[in-house]
A and B are shown apart, each in its own frame.
Chain A
Amino acid sequence: MRTTVWMMLALFAFGAISGTIYWFVTYEPAGTLLLWSFSLMPLIVAGYLVLHGGVRVGTPADDPEATPDRAAGQELGTFPAASTWPVVLVLGSITVGASLVYGLLLLPVGLGVMALAVLGLMRESRD
Chain B
Amino acid sequence: MERPVAAQPEPPHRVGPVERLTSTDHKNVGILYCVTAFGFFLVGGALAGLMRVELTEPARQVVSTQAYNTLFTIHGTVMIFLFVAPFGIGLANYLIPLQIGAPDMAFPRLNLTSYWFFAGAGLLILLSGVASASGGAAMGWTAYTPLSELRYSPGVGLDLWILGIVLVAISNVMGGVNILTTVFLMRAPGMTMWRLPIFTWNMVVTAILGLVAFPPAVAAFALLFIDRRLGGHAFDPLGGGDPALYQHLFWFLGHPEVYILILPFFGIITEVIPVFSRKPLFGYLGIVLATIAIGALSMGVWAHHMFTTGVVNNPFFSAMSLLIAVPTGVKFFAWTGTMWRGKIHFTVPMLFALAFLLNFLIGGVTGVMLASAPIDFHMNDSYFVVAHFHYTIMGGSVFAIFAGIYFWFPKMTGVMLRERLGRVVAALLFVGFNLTFWPQFVLGLRGFPRRYVSYPADIGFDTPNLVSTIGYAVLFAGVVVFLADVAVSLWRRVPAGDDPWDANSLEWVTTSPPPEHNFDALPQIRSERPAFDLRHPELAP
The A interface, classified by DSSP as helix, strand, loop or mixed, is: helix
> Are A61's CB and B189's CB within 8 A?
yes
Question: Digit string of A74-108 for contact with B (CB within 8 Å is 1, else 0)?
Answer: 00100111111111011101100110111000000
Q: CB distance B184 to A1 under 8 Å?
A: yes
Interface 9-mer from B5-13, B62-70, B156-164: B156-164
B212 — which chain A residues lie within 8 A by C-beta? 37-38, 41
- Tell me which residues from 169 to 195 in chain B have a Cβ below 8 Å from any Cβ of chain A: 170, 180, 184, 186-195
Known: A3-B193, A125-B109. A35 touches B22 (CB 8 A): no
CA distance A63 to B296 in the complex (A): 28
B187 interface neighbour in A26, A61, A84, Cβ under 8 Å: A61
At the interface with chain A, which of B78-86, B112-120, B449-457? B112-120
Q: Answer whether residue A34 sits at the interface, using C-beta atoms and an 8 A cutoff.
A: yes
Whether B243 sits at the interface, judged by CB under 8 Å, is no
Cβ contact within 8 Å between A83 and B24: yes
In the complex, the answer to whether B160 meets A101 with C-beta atoms within 8 Å is: yes
What is the distance, in angstroms, from A107's C-beta to the closest C-beta of chain B?
13
The answer to whether the Cβ of B300 comes within 8 Å of any Cβ in the partner chain is yes
CB distance from A34 to the nearest CB of B (A): 5
Query: Would you call A41 and B208 a contact (CB within 8 A)?
Result: yes
Q: How far is the CA of A18 from the CA of B320 in the complex (A)?
A: 10
Q: Are B109 and A83 in contact (CB under 8 A)?
A: yes
| B23 & A65 in contact (Cβ 8 Å cutoff) | no
Contact flag A79-B313 (CB < 8 Å), given A4-B193, A38-B299, A61-B189: no
**Residues on B with beta carbons closer than 8 Å to the beta carbon of A41:** 208, 211-212
Residue of A nearest to B159 (CB): A101
| Interface residue ranges of A33-55 to B (CB < 8 Å) | 34-35, 37-38, 41-42, 45, 49
Contacts of A22 in B (CB 8 A): 300, 313, 316
- Shortest distance between the CB of B369 and any CB in chain A (Å): 24
Q: Give the complex CA separation of A22 and B463 in angstroms.
A: 45
CA distance A18 to B299 in the complex (A): 10
- Residue interface mask B87-129, A partner, CB < 8 A = 1: 0000000000000001110001100110111011001100000
Cβ of B423 < 8 Å from any Cβ of A? no
User: Quick check: is A10 within 8 A (CB to CB) of the other chain?
Assistant: yes
Say whether, besides A3-B192, A15-B299, A41-B211, A87 and B22 are in contact (CB < 8 Å): yes
Given contacts A34-B216, A86-B116, contact A10 B292 (CB under 8 A): yes
With contact pairs A76-B186, A80-B108, A83-B112 given, residues A31 and B167 touching in the complex (Cβ less than 8 Å) = no
Q: Does B444 contact A (CB under 8 A)?
A: no
Q: Is B379 an interface residue (CB 8 A)?
A: no
Chain A residues contacting B160 (CB-CB under 8 Å) are: 101
Contacts of B166 in A (CB 8 A): 97
A61 touches B249 (CB 8 A): no
| Given A67-B190, A68-B189, A101-B159: A121 touches B21 (CB 8 Å cut-off) | no
Say yes or no for A66: interface residue by CB 8 A criterion. Answer: yes
CB-based nearest B residue for A85:
B109
Q: In whole angstroms, how far apart are the Cα atoms of A14 and B324 in the complex?
A: 14
> B225 in the interface, Cβ–Cβ < 8 Å?
yes
Chain B interface secondary structure, helix, strand, loop or mixed? helix
Q: Would you give the shortest CB distance from B330 to chain A, in whole angstroms?
A: 17
For the complex, is B303 an interface residue (Cβ under 8 Å from A)? yes
Does chain B have a CB within 8 A of A60?
Answer: yes
User: Known interface pairs A25-B316, A68-B521, A76-B186. Does A82 touch B303 (Cβ–Cβ under 8 Å)?
Assistant: no
Q: Does B61 contact A (CB under 8 A)?
A: no
Residue numbers in B under 8 Å from A65 (CB-CB): 190
Tell me, yes or no, whether B252 is within 8 Å of chain A by CB.
yes
Contact B190 A60, beta carbon cutoff 8 Å:
yes
Check B248–A31 contact: CB distance below 8 A: yes
Say yes or no: is B147 at the interface (Cβ < 8 Å to chain A): no
- Of all chain B residues, the one with the shortest Cβ separation from A66 is B189
Taking CB as reference atom, which chain A residue is nearest B230?
A: A100
Q: What residues on A are CB-neighbors of B229 within 8 Å?
A: 100-101
In the bound assembly, the distance between CA atoms of A92 and B441 in angstroms comes to 45
Name the residue on B nearest A15 (C-beta): B299
User: In the complex the two chains form, what is the Cα distance from A98 to B119 in whole Å?
Assistant: 16
Q: Is A11 an interface residue (CB 8 A)?
A: yes
Contact check, B193 vs A79: say whether CB atoms are below 8 A apart: no
List the A residue with the shortest CB-CB distance to B176. A41
Which B residues are in CB contact (< 8 Å) with A11?
A: 208, 292, 295-296
Q: Is the CB of B211 within 8 A of A71?
A: no
Encoded as 1 (CB less than 8 Å from any A CB) or 0, chain B from 417 to 432 comes to: 0000000000000000
How far apart sit A10 and B188, CA to CA, in the bound complex (Å)? 25
- Please tell me if A64 contacts chain B, counting CB pairs below 8 Å: yes
A30 to B249, CA, bound (A): 8
* B249 neighbours in A (Cβ, 8 Å): 30, 34
**Residues from chain B with Cβ under 8 Å of A87 in the complex:** 21-22, 116
Contacts of B336 in A (CB 8 A): none
Using known A-B contacts A90-B117, A97-B166, determine if residue A7 contacts B192 with beta carbons closer than 8 Å: no
Q: Which of B116, B189, B191, B248 contacts A89 (CB 8 A)?
A: B116
> In the complex, A44 Cα to B91 Cα: how many Å?
27
Q: Write 6 A-B pairs (CB below 8 A) sorted by A numbering.
A: A1-B184, A34-B248, A81-B23, A81-B24, A94-B120, A100-B163
Beyond the given A61-B187, A101-B229, could you list 10 further A-B residue pairs with CB under 8 A, ordered by the A residue number? A7-B193, A15-B296, A25-B313, A30-B249, A59-B187, A63-B189, A70-B189, A79-B108, A82-B22, A86-B113
Which 6 pairs show the lowest CB-CB distances between chains A and B?
A66-B189, A60-B189, A61-B187, A86-B113, A3-B193, A97-B163
| A-binding residues in B (CB < 8 A) | 19, 21-25, 102-104, 108-109, 112-113, 115-117, 119-120, 123-124, 156, 159-160, 163, 166-167, 170, 180, 184, 186-195, 208, 211-212, 216, 225, 229, 245, 248-249, 252, 292, 295-296, 299-300, 302-303, 311-313, 316, 320, 517, 521-526
Q: Which residues on A are within 8 Å of B, measured CB to CB?
A: 1, 3-4, 7, 10-11, 14-15, 18, 22, 25-26, 28, 30-31, 34-35, 37-38, 41-42, 45, 49, 59-71, 76, 79-87, 89-91, 93-94, 97-98, 100-102, 121, 124-125
